[in-house]
């Protein structure tokens, strides 16, 4: 998987490292998706398992290895489509705001405006 960091975006009090991906437009690490939706990483993982017919590997999420601070680790990246689809399963005021932010970011990304900072 060839990715590169395109922007550090801000949603509320959270900084999100967004990665550009040739096939999926952009990707977001699972733990950041969880923070965006205001839930734990375990809740995201449980949704992925319970809704495997709707949250499909290679379309909505990708498994990968990354190196951070000299350590190689396995991570789940959610694609643009996956972040949006996942939002159908999480119902809260925070989740609604994050879905709105995701739509806004997607619109900006579609215009190739990658050097942006988004503040809400």
At 20-48, the pLDDT tens digits run: 888 998 899 999 999 999 999 999 999 99
At 67-114, the pLDDT tens digits run: 778 888 889 999 999 999 999 999 999 999 999 999 888 887 766 554
Dig out the tokens for 4 from the structure.
């590169």
Q: What pLDDT score was predicted for residue 118?
A: 37
Backbone phi, psi, residue 47, to 5°: -60, -40
> How sure is the predictor about 120, in pLDDT bands with cuts at 50, 70 and 90?
very low
Q: Roughly how many angstroms between the first and final C-alpha of the chain, as a whole number?
A: 30
Q: Which of 61, 50, 49 is nearest to 85 (CA)?
A: 61
């Amino acid at each position: 998987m060839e990715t590169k960091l395109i922007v550090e975006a801000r949603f509320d009090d959270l900084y999100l490292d967004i990665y550009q991906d040739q096939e999926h437009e952009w990707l977001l690490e699972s733990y950041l998706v969880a923070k965006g939706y205001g839930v734990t990483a375990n809740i995201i993982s449980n949704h992925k398992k319970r809704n495997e017919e709707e949250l499909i590997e290679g379309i909505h999420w990708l498994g990968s290895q990354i190196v951070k601070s000299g350590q190689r680790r396995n991570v789940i990246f959610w694609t643009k489509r996956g972040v949006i689809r996942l939002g159908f399963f999480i119902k809260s005021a925070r989740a609604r705001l994050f879905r709105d932010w995701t739509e806004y970011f997607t619109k900006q990304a579609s215009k190739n405006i990658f050097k942006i900072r988004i503040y809400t």
